[in-house]
Homo-oligomer: A and B are copies of this chain.
Amino acid sequence: MNDRILLGHGSGGRLTRELVDELFVKGLQEAAPHSMDDAAVLPRQDHKLVFTTDSYVVSPLEFPGGDIGTLAVAGTVNDLAVMGATPLYISLGIILEEGFEISRLKNIVTSIADTAKKSGVCIACGDTKVVEKGKGDGLFINTAGIGVLAYPTDETLIQPGDKVVINGTVGDHGMTILTMRKGFPLKSSLQSDCAPLNGLIHQVAQQQQIKWMRDPTRGGVATALNELVENKPWGVMLSEPDLPFHEAVDGLAELLGLDPLYSANEGKVLMIVSAEHASETLKALHEHPLGKHAAIIGTVTADYPGTLILQTEMGTMRTLGILTSDPLPRIC
């Protein structure tokens, strides 16, 4: 096999098959029990299905805490999990740029396999295309995911007094990518939080009703909550002192004048639960490795309908609006 991707690897002929057999089938192993043929036949499912898709164009492809492969599986698993679904199957569409190093692709496939294993999903089907050098940017991945509805959320149950919970520090992924992109030395322990959250969500959801869940990726916590409160007769008030931040995120945010509440997360889930269940939720989250720094960060309030409000450390109130354009493209 060559050490770089050739246009012929996307031809559908012998080179494509070699790439699929040698690299994807071998690299994915038990993560891909199906044939990686054009389409996979799956068992009948006795529940409602949930279907999602995401493309991943993150730059750089590798970063502290993971790579585009980790992200492509975790991101789609998380989109299913926050819908209250048990993720089952993932499709894997890869667009390669001619000249991409095969060894690098192998590492990314290993991340895909590892993350699939961690989250218990199968890679059911795949596709590889190659574009000419200069017409892509190394590698893009699209994953679609199928899950079955297990713990339906119901945002119509939300009422003033309900609590907003997050499973850990805010803005890590976005700030990690930013640090790399700007060429800052990464001296701290800051890394992307990218991880599949279905296990953690299962742990909470089997115990109590989660009224609403969202993974605050592009646009961060503030965007996810803004989308929730829009046109609602209630708003959400976040409490700044309760927001968990990695110390490096705090420092970077101040240095660059950026608000980590708008910074992407790839291993975080926001949940809204009733006030009476909030402490149990927190307890369940704390027991999971991905929920050690979980915190109650806000409250649903009738005082600011349709609005996301930050109660600052100093006790003042600040509206957190919708992001018009991300200062940092290609975060995921």
Q: Which residues does A use to contact B, with CB under 8 Å?
A: 6-8, 10-17, 38-57, 59, 79-80, 82-83, 85, 89, 91-95, 124-132, 134-137, 140, 142, 144-146, 149, 217-219, 223, 264, 322-326, 329-330
Contact = CB atoms under 8 A, between A and B. Distances in A.
Given A12-B219, A44-B45, A55-B94, 16 more contacts: A8-B326, A10-B326, A13-B323, A14-B324, A38-B52, A38-B79, A39-B52, A40-B52, A41-B50, A51-B91, A53-B125, A54-B93, A55-B129, A57-B129, A57-B131, A93-B144
23 contacts: A6-B325, A10-B330, A11-B323, A11-B324, A12-B323, A13-B218, A14-B325, A15-B325, A38-B54, A40-B52, A41-B50, A44-B46, A49-B146, A51-B89, A53-B127, A54-B127, A93-B142, A95-B140, A129-B330, A132-B329, A135-B137, A142-B142, A142-B144
A129 B79 CA distance: 16
Contact of A322 (B14, B134, B142): B14
A145 B49 CA distance: 13
B218 A12 contact: yes
Contacts of A130: 329
Contacts of A85: 39
Contacts of A146: 49, 51, 146
Contact of A125 (B6, B42, B46, B51): B51
Contacts of A40: 50-52
Contacts of A49: 41-45, 49, 146
A48 B57 contact: no
A178 to B, nearest CB: 14
Contacts of A137: 131, 135-136
Contacts of A92: 53
Contacts of A324: 8, 11, 13-15
A91 B57 contact: no
A13 B322 CA distance: 6
A300 to B, nearest CB: 21
Nearest to A152: B41
A39 B330 contact: no
Nearest to A136: B136
A324 to B, nearest CB: 5
A124 B54 contact: no
A132 B329 CA distance: 8
Nearest to A11: B326
Nearest to A42: B49
Contact of A325 (B8, B55, B79, B134): B8
A186 to B, nearest CB: 23
A48 B53 contact: no
Nearest to A149: B41
Given A12-B323, A323-B14, A39 B55 contact: no
B142 A55 contact: yes
Contacts of A43: 48-49
A49 B11 CA distance: 28
